[in-house]
Amino acid sequence: MYESSPLPLDTSIIEPTPLPYQAASTSSITSIVEEQFDINIAINSIYKSAVEFIVGLHDNNNFTKKDVSNIQFGIIKSLLTPMVSILKNIVKTEVKEPLSLSKFDHILTAISNPFQFCTSEYILLKWLVENDLISEVKQFTIHNEICPVQHLGKTVYDEKQTKGALLPLKLQFKKYFEHGEHFKNQLNKLKQLDLNYDNNITNFVQGKLRKLKISKHSSDKILIPYFLYIDDAEINNPLGSHAMYQQMSAIYYSFPLAENNSKLSNIFLAALIKSLDLKEFGNDLCLQTLIDEINLLENDGLDIVTDCGSFHVHFILGIVLGDNLGMNSILEFSKSFSANYFCRFCKVDKLRSKQMYEEDTSCIRNIDNYNIDIATQNFSETGIYKESILNTIQSFHVTQNFCVDIMHDLYEAKLFTLDTLNDRKSNFNYGPIEFGNISPNISINHLNNIHLKMSAREVMTFIHFFPLMIGDLVPEHDEVWSFFLILLKMVDILLSYTFNADAISYLKQLISTHNNQYNILFNDTLKPKHHFLVHYPTVIEYSGPPRLYWCFRFEGKHKEMKMYARSTTSRKNITLTLANKFQLKFAHLLLQPVKSKIILKEKHKIQTKHIELINKTLNLPPSKYSCYNDLEFNGIIFKEGYYLTKFLNEMNLFKITEIIVIENNDDTVFILGEQILFKHFDPRYESFVINENKDELNNFSIYSAYDFSDPPINVTKMANGKKMLRNLFYSNNDIFNDFRDNFVPPVDATSETISFDITNMDGTIDYFQNNDSILSVNIPVVEGYKYPTEDLIPLKNILDTWNMGCVYQTCIDNLIDLKALTYMKPEDANKLLEKFPLGISILFRHELEKWQKCSVNINENNSLKNDSNQRIQNVPLTSEESLSRQSKLPSIIIKVDEILNSSPQGHLIIDYYRKNNKLNDEIRTTLVDIVIGYIISNNIQMSVSVAESLSNQIVAMFSSEIKDIYFLKVGSNKNPKGKLYAKFYNAMRTLKNNGLVTTSAAKTIRIEQGNEESRNGKSWMSRDFISEMNIDPILDILKHSSTSYPELELNWKSTVNYRLNDIKKSISTQEIFKNWKQYLISYGHKLIDIDYSAIFPNQNVYFEFEKKSEKIYNILEEKVKDSSCLKILSQIKDGNNLNESEIDIERERERVSET
C-alpha cells in the first residue's frame, strides 16, 4: 500500500519521524534481520508494532482509554525499564568498541519506550490520521437553543446543542475495499452472480430490487450495494433510573457481497444518535447529514486503488434493515400496529389483515399510490405520517424497501406435563454445533403469560429440535401438531441460502395454510406478524434469502457498544465517545494483515488412516498435505464427527472423518467423509432416520469443502437409539423437498402410478381443509386424460365427512373426481368397493345417495360457456354437518345464485370467476354488498344459520373461496366473524343512526333463537343437567387454587353442568357467589357467558344485554350527574359508526361487556 523509506543515520531516535503505514506481519523484524539489516528500519518496525499493540487494546470492548494508558505505562515501568537496565549493564561490561556501543544504546533507547507513536491519545490519533487509517468523527447539530442549564450547581442560561455523530463513510469505504482483496473478491462475486445460469436467488444482487436500482445508472458504472441497519440499544442498566435517557439509535452498514458478511468485524458503525433526540426532533433533522453522505457515495463515487489498478466505484443503498417497529418509524409509516393501516408493504386495513392468508397484489404500496397518500395528508386513511426523508436518496424509495426480519417475526417469542418437557429439553442431545444455544427451563409462569423467556437464537434452536424432543408424546393426527409441522417447514425454507421460483411458490402456499389453520385451530384472528408473513415471498423475489439480512448479527454488534459503554463512566457527549471507540476498532481491522482462510492448531494434527485413497484422489504424496480432526475454514468450523450434505442426483449425507490441508494452498480444504445411508423420512418428526450400521458403510469419499451444500449440521441420537437428521439450512430446497416428499417405500414396478404431492402444487389448491399438512397420493396415468387435481382435497373432505376416508385412494385409483361422484350410480359404487367389506359398501351408498339428493349440479369451470347471461347454480354442501344445517334454514329460502344472476354486478363477478378461477378482496367485498343489500331490502332477519347458509352457498359456487372469510363461528360464547355478519351489523347501525330504520328493526341483529324452552328464561330451572365425570381434581383447583385465565376458562367449561345443578339448589345469589367466587373477578363476565351459553346454546349474553341496554342507559342518565361521565355515556349510547374496514366484532363484544 505504501513503501517505507529508511531514516537518515543522524535521525533522533527519541523523536522518530512518523512513516506511512505499511501492513506488516509479526515476523517483519525477523525478515529485516534475514535481509540486509538497517537499524533505523528495525526501530521504526518496533514503533509500528507498538501502535498495532495499543490499537489492539483499544479494540477490546472492555478497555477504556484510561485502561489502555495504564497498561502502556505498566509495560514500560514494570517490564521494559528493568530489562533495559540489565541489558545496558551487560553491554557496558561486554562491549568496549565505541561504534558498537553506540548502536546498542540506540536500540536500547528504542526498546525502553517503544510507544513513540502513541505516547498519548493525541499522538496516536495524529499518527492514525496521517496514515489514512481514521479521520475525524463529524459531529452534526440536530438542535440548538438557549435554555436553563446546570453549571457548577447553579442554573444559568446557556446554549444547549443536541448533536449526533457521523463516522467518515467515504474514508471507511475506500480503506475497506483497498485492504486485502475485498474489492477484487466482491467484484468477481458480483460478476459471477450476475450470470445466474440456474435462475436461483442466493444473494441480494440477484433479486429484482437491485436490477431496478441499477437501471437508473449507466451500464459501465461499477455499482456495489450495501445495507443500512438502524436499531435502538440501551447502554445503561435497563432497570436503573437512567434507563432510556442515554439509549442509542445505532446505524450500521454492511456489504452483502462480502465474504463472511455475518462476522461482526464485517459490520461497521455509520452514525450514532440518541433515541430520545430521534423521537423528539424527528428523522429529517437527525438523518439529513447521513443522507447527504449516502448520496455522495452514489453520485460521486470513490477511487479504489488496488494491486490490479485503480477503479472508480459507486455505492448504492440496497435496503434499510431493522425490526418492524424500527422500520415503520424510520420510513414514516405507522408506529403502532393497532392502527388501521399498519403495514409498510400494502394498504390492507386491519380487519382484512386479520383473515388474510395470501398477498393481495392490488393493495401493494408503490410510488404512485404513495404520492397520492402523501397528498391526502390523512394518517388514519393511509398509515403514513409524512414523506420520508429517505426518499431523497437517489436510488431508494420507502415503498421499494423489500426487507423483513425472520428473527422478530418467527423467533422472538411466544399433551404432556411441563416437567416432562423440561426434562426432555434438559437431557436432549443437541450436538456440538447447537450446544451453546440451549434455552433455560420453562416455568409455569411463562406458560401462563403465553411468553417463553428465550432469546431469538435460543427459540430458533428450540423450534428446530422440538419435534424430536416430544414428537413421540403427541397423538397421531393431532391438529395442533400438524399446524406446528407446517410452521416448521416454513422455518426450514426461510432459513435457506438459495431460492428459486418453485421454493417461493411452495413457501407462499405454506404461509397461506399456516395463517388459515391458525384462524381455525386457535379461534383467533391473525396478528400483524402473521400478516407480514404473506409478504415474504415477494420480499424474497426482490431482495433474496431473508437470512442474509435478518437482525441477528446486527443486534450482536450492539454488544460491543454496550460493553464499552458500561466500562466507561463518562456520559458527557456519549455519542462522540462511542464513535471514537469504533474508529479505533476500524483502524485495528486495517492494521491487521488479511487473515488466512484456514485457521488450525498443531494439536489437532493427526495421522491419516486413508493414505491410499488420498494419494489416489488428490494425486499427491504424503509430504504435500496434512490431516486434521478440527479446523476453521472461511469462518466455519469443520470437525471430525460433524455431518455435511451434498447434492448429486439426490441428497447425500457424509460424516467427517478427516480434514485435509494441502501445502501452500489457502484457497480450500478437502473433506474425507464417510457416506451415511438414509432409512426413511419420518413426517411425524419432519426428520430423516439415518443408518450408521458399520456393516453397511465404509464408503469413503473426498470432496472439496466448497462441494458441500451447507455448513455442518446436527444428527441427533434419540433415547430409543435412532439417529435423526432435521433438514436445516438447505441450499437446494427444491431438490431437498423432492427427495423428502418422494422418499417413500417404492410402489409395485408394474403400477402405472406417479407420486404426487398436493402441498407442492400451483394453481387452485391454496388451502388445506383437513388437518394433514401433506397429502401424498398416487394418480394413475392414462394417456389423453388429465385428472382434475383441484378436486383432490374437496374429495377427501367429503369422504372424511362420511367417515369413508378409507376409500379415498381407491377413488383416486379409479379416477373418481367430484363430477364422477355426482353421476355415480349404486351399481358403480358396488363395483368400486367390491374388495371392501359389505358394511362399508352399504354405508358409502347411503351417504352418496344423501349427498346426491341435495345436489344441484353445476357445470365444471372448464366447460362453462362464455354467455354472460348463463346462471351459476348452487352446489351441494359437501358434509353431513352442512346437510343438517340446511334443514335448519329459515322459512325464507335465500339463494345466492339467484341474487347474483339478477344483479349486473353479480354477472360481472361470475364472469370474472369463470376466467380466473378465483376472486380478489375487492370482488369479495362487492359480492358481500350485493347479498347483504338483498337481505336488508327484503327485510330478512339475519342470524347465525342465515349467515352460515349464505357462506356455504358462496363457497359451493366459487370453490377456490374459504368459508371462514365470509362466516366464522368462533365458539358458543363469542360473536361470529366474517364479512357477511360484519357487513350486515354495520349496515344496520348506519341505518339506525341515520334514522332510516327503527330501533326495533335494528334489533334484528340477533343470534339465532333456540326452541321455546330456551326463550323462556325461567324454564331452564326445570331442566336436568348431566354432571361431568371425574371432575373432583378440577373442582379442587377452582375452590382452592389461583390459575391464569386460559386455565380457568378450560376448567370452568369442564364443570359447567355440575355448576348449573349446584346453582339450581342455591337459595340466594350470595350463596352462589360464595360457592363460585370466580364470578366476582375482573373477567367474571366471561365465565357468566360460558354458563349462559350452556343454558341457551343458541344465544349470547352480550346480545341479550343489548336488549336491556336502553333501560340501563335511562337509569344511568337519571342517576349520573357528572358532566364528563354524562358525555362518555352519551358517546357509548350513540355509538360510533364502524366502517367496513374497522369493525371487529370481538372487540365490540369486549367493549359492551366492560360497559
Together in a domain, 170 and 238: yes
Average pLDDT, integer, range 1117-1123: 73
pTM of the complete model: 0.58
Task: Quote the cell numbers at residue 510.
Answer: 405454506
867-913, pLDDT tens digit by residue? 333 333 333 333 333 333 333 333 456 888 888 888 878 888 888 88
With a pLDDT cut of 90, the percent of the chain lying above it is 19
Domain boundary among 131, 154, 179: 131
Strands 598-599 and 630-633: antiparallel
| Cα–Cα dist 713/143, whole Å | 52
pLDDT tens digits, one per residue of 555-598 = 888 888 888 888 887 778 888 999 999 999 999 999 888 777 88
pLDDT for the residue 433: 58
Between CA 576 and CA 1071 the distance in angstroms is: 69
pLDDT at 1030 over 90: no
Q: Would you place residue 147 in the very low, low, confident or very high pLDDT band (cuts 50, 70, 90)? A: confident
The residues facing 627 across adjacent strands are: 606, 660
Instruction: Sort 187 into a burial class: Cβ within 10 Å, 0-12 / 13-18 / 19+.
Output: buried
Q: What is the per-residue pLDDT for 1059?
A: 87
Q: Which three cell numbers stand for residue 698?
A: 465404509
Residue 268 pLDDT > 90, yes or no? yes
Domain check: are 245 and 320 in the same one? yes
Nearest CA among 589, 712, 581 for reference residue 248: 581
Instruction: State whether 918 and 814 are in the same domain.
Output: no
Instruction: Judge whether 302 lies within some domain.
Output: yes
Residue 104 lies in a domain: yes
Please answer whether residues 672 and 658 qualify as being in contact, where contact means their C-beta atoms are separated by less than 8 angstroms: yes
Predicted confidence at residue 1019, as pLDDT, reads: 58
Q: Which residues contact 596 (CB under 8 A, 6 or more apart)?
A: 666
How many domains, in total, are found in the chain? 6
Highest mean pLDDT among 378-392, 630-644, 696-710, 766-780: 378-392
pLDDT value for 876: 36
Per-residue pLDDT tens over the stretch 83-121:
888 888 888 888 778 777 777 888 888 888 889 888 888
Q: Using the predicted structure, report yes or no on whether residue 765 has a pLDDT greater than 50.
A: no
**1089 occurs within a structural domain:** yes
The arithmetic mean of pLDDT across residues 646-661, rounded, is 78
Name residue 841's amino acid: S
* Calpha distance 1066→1082 (Å, rounded): 23
Query: Looking at the predicted structure, is the pLDDT value of residue 60 above 70?
Result: yes
Question: Which of 697-706, 759-768, 865-874 has the lowest average pLDDT?
Answer: 759-768
Most confident range (mean pLDDT) of 402-416, 1091-1105, 1127-1141 is 1091-1105
Output the CA torsion sign for 1072, 1073, 1077, 1082. Answer: positive
Residues 200 and 66 in one domain: no
Task: State residue 653 phi and psi, 5-degree precision.
Answer: -115, 135
- What sign has the CA pseudo-torsion 858, 862, 866, 868? positive
The grid cell for 849 is 345417495
Q: Is 1121 helix (H, G, I), strand (E, B) or coil?
A: coil
Give the model's pLDDT for residue 891: 41
The residue to which cell 386455565 is assigned: 1047
Nearest to 320 by CA among 207, 202, 404: 404
Q: Is the model's pLDDT at 768 over the cut of 60? A: no
* 108 shares its domain with 168: no
Least confident segment among 55-59, 127-131, 172-176, 433-437 = 433-437
DSSP 1129-1145: HHHHHH-----TTT--H
> Both 560 and 603 in a single domain?
no
Question: Looking at the domain assignment, is residue 485 inside a domain?
Answer: no
Range of 192's domain?
163-332+396-402+552-591
Would you state the pLDDT for residue 440?
59
Band (623; pLDDT cuts 50, 70, 90): confident
Query: Is the pLDDT higher at 415 or at 454?
Result: 454
195 or 761: which carries more pLDDT confidence? 195
Question: Looking at this protein, which amino acid is placed at residue 562?
Answer: K
> pLDDT tens digits for 737-753?
444 444 433 333 233 33
Angle at alpha carbon of residue 1087, lines to 1083 and 1088, rounded to 5°: 110
CATH number at residue 681: 2.30.30.490
- Arithmetic mean of pLDDT over the chain: 76
Q: Is residue 1027 part of a domain?
A: yes
Buried b or exposed e, range 907-940, using 16+ CB within 10 angstroms: bebbebbbeeeebeeebbbbbbbbbbebbbeeeb
Q: How far is CA 1062 from CA 716, 979, 1030, 1038, 1095, in A?
A: 53, 40, 16, 14, 14
What would the mean pLDDT of 24-30 be, rounded to a whole number?
A: 46
Rounded to 5°, the CA angle 327-332-336 comes to 70
Q: Is residue 967 part of a domain?
A: yes
**598-599/605-606 β-pairing:** unpaired
Task: Tell me which residue of 992, 1007, 995, 1004 sits closest to 1135, measured CA to CA.
Answer: 992
Q: Report how far residue 430's alpha carbon sits from residue 411's, in angstroms, rounded to the nearest whole number.
A: 18
Domain boundary among 131, 154, 173: 131
Question: Are residues 678 and 636 in contact, defined by beta-carbon separation less than 8 angstroms?
Answer: no
Contact 827, 801 (CB under 8 A): no
Q: Say if residue 568 is in the same domain as residue 638.
A: no
The C-alpha cell 359492551 sits at: 1152
Whole-number pLDDT of residue 759: 33
pLDDT tier, 239 (very low <50, low <70, confident <90, very high otherwise) = low
User: Residue 347 has what pLDDT?
Assistant: 93
Distance between CA 1155 and CA 1149 in Å, rounded? 10
Instruction: Provide the pLDDT confidence category of residue 1119 given band limits of 50, 70 and 90.
Output: confident
**Residue 716 shares a structural domain with residue 847:** no
| Whether pLDDT at 1100 is above 70 | no
Residues 307, 174, single domain; the answer is yes
Q: Please count the residues of the chain.
A: 1155
Q: What is the DSSP letter of 369?
A: H
Examine the domain organization and report whether 961 and 1089 are in the same domain: no
Least confident of 16-20, 54-58, 217-221, 628-632: 16-20
- Least confident piece of the model among 185-199, 529-543, 983-997, 1063-1077: 983-997
* CB-count burial class (<10 Å; 0-12, 13-18, 19+) for 442: middle
**Cell numbers linked to 183:** 474489492
Of the candidates 128, 137, 114, the one whose C-alpha atom is nearest the C-alpha of residue 44 is 114
Q: Do 579 and 609 share a domain, yes or no?
A: no
How far is it, in rounded angstroms, from Cα 658 to Cα 180?
30
Please report whether residue 577 resides in a domain: yes
Give counts: helices (H), strands (E), the chain: 49, 21
Instruction: Please give the backbone phi and psi of residue 234, each rounded to the nearest 5 degrees, phi first.
Output: -85, 115
pLDDT tier for residue 719 given thresholds of 50, 70 and 90: low
Residue 480: inside a domain, yes or no?
no
520: its cell numbers: 381455525
Give the model's pLDDT for residue 701: 86
pLDDT for residue 1146 is more than 60: no
State the burial class of residue 947 (Cβ atoms within 10 Å of its Cβ: 0-12, 13-18, 19+): buried
27 DSSP 8-state letter: T
Banded pLDDT at 427 (limits 50, 70, 90): low
Output the pLDDT for position 438: 60
Mean pLDDT of 290-310: 93
What is d(CA 599, CA 862) in angstroms, rounded to the nearest whole number?
63
Domain boundary among 573, 591, 609: 591
Which pLDDT belongs to residue 1085? Answer: 78
Question: Within this chain, do residues 576 and 616 fall inside the same structural domain, yes or no?
Answer: no
Give the least confident one: 95-104, 212-221, 536-545, 629-638.
95-104
Read off the pLDDT of each residue in 132-151 and give the average, rounded to a whole number.
Answer: 86
Lowest-pLDDT choice from 866-875, 1061-1070, 1101-1110 = 866-875
